[in-house]
Amino acid sequence: MSPKAMLAVIVLGIGALVASQGLYVVNETERAIKLQFGEIVDADIQPGLHWKSPLIQNVKRFDARVLTLDTNPSRFLTAGKKYVIVDSFAKWRIKDVRAYYKATSGDRFQASNLLANLVNKGLRDEIAARSLHEVVSGERDELMTKLTATLNTETQDDLGIEVLDVRVKAVDLPDDLSNSVYNRMSAEREREAREHRSQGKELAEGIEADADRQKTVIEAEAYRDAERTKGEGDAEAAKIYAKAYNKDPEFYAFTRSLKAYEETFKQNDVIMLKPDSDFFRYMKDAKGK
């Protein structure tokens, strides 16, 4: 190989080495900063292919995706001086790479520890301003929204981190407080049960009394209507009898006697009457009349 060819190969090799040391790629899921002798010279590097001075400058990349901080359950004191154990998590991402690097040196573990301390501090302040009922009730969403907004302001200024959401996974009570709350709730439920039973008994007695009253009224009205109907029937019967008697008094008397015979003789009792009694008037022959 000629000296010129050898020189060209050497130059190309040096160029390739320089290019490999100077060219770098930033992915879409990353944020990056460029340092020169430890000083930040570019904190807003966009995704794509970029150049840096070999041996003088270096590039640090950070995960730009939404990350999850899962904090350890911690004890907090409510406004009513009751302890609660809160298990929470936070969603966050890098907002300002320069501030993030200055605060954490690009160490994600350190960033998580700093953010966890701020989350616990925020939870402590918010829970201390609320009662136990407010912490475990529907006001929890309001608490989380307010805490997220407060943390966002603090973390963006101090850590270069944007807090997207803070959520409480569980709110538990210490064992001693849990037993106390359970006993109080049990007593409260028993009291409510007694009140419901008492109200039910009172309502049942009222319904029963009203039913008895309605029964008495209905029976009285039914008896009144029956007596009225019976009286009207008797009057109608008497009217019919009178009408029949006026048409043929003798025949009417005869049929009435037959009816009397039927009602009398079907009994087993002994009846003693004089033979010439008017009761046997129609049982005598025509000569005996």
- Please give the single-letter amino acid code of residue 47: P
**pLDDT for position 116:** 92
**pLDDT for position 247:** 74
- Residue 208 and residue 95: Cα distance in Å, rounded? 74
Average pLDDT over residues 104-131: 89
Range with lowest mean pLDDT among 15-29, 33-47, 223-237: 15-29
> 68 is written with which tokens?
């999850």
Contacts of 137 (CB under 8 A, 6+ apart): none
Query: 7-23 burial by CB neighbour count: b if 16+ within 10 A, else e?
Result: eeeeeeeeeeeeeeeee
CB atoms within 10 A of CB 161: 29
Question: 174: closest CA among 273, 60, 75, 243?
Answer: 75
- Residue 67 and residue 185: Cα distance in Å, rounded? 40
**204-237 pLDDT, tens per residue?**
989 999 999 999 999 999 999 998 898 888 888 8
**pLDDT for position 287:** 45
Position 91 pLDDT exceeds 90: yes
**Cα three-residue angle 259-255-246, rounded to 5 degrees:** 135
Position 7 pLDDT exceeds 90: no
The DSSP element (H or E) to which 202 belongs, if any, is helix 175-247
Yes or no: say if 162 and 90 are a contact pair by the CB < 8 Å rule: no
Average pLDDT over residues 178-206: 83
Mean of all residue pLDDT scores within the chain: 80
Strands (E) in the chain, as ranges, are 23-26, 30-36, 39-45, 48-51, 57-63, 67-70, 74-77, 83-94, 161-172
**pLDDT for position 11:** 61
Average pLDDT over residues 65-93: 87
Question: 120: closest CA among 161, 70, 49?
Answer: 70
* CA distance between the termini of the chain: 181
Tell me which of 83 and 223 has the higher pLDDT: 223
Position 119 pLDDT exceeds 70: yes
Rg (CA), the chain: 55
**pLDDT for position 4:** 63
The segment with the largest mean pLDDT, out of 16-20, 27-31, 49-53, 136-140, is 27-31
Above pLDDT 70, what percent of the chain? 78
- Residue 91 and residue 106: Cα distance in Å, rounded? 18
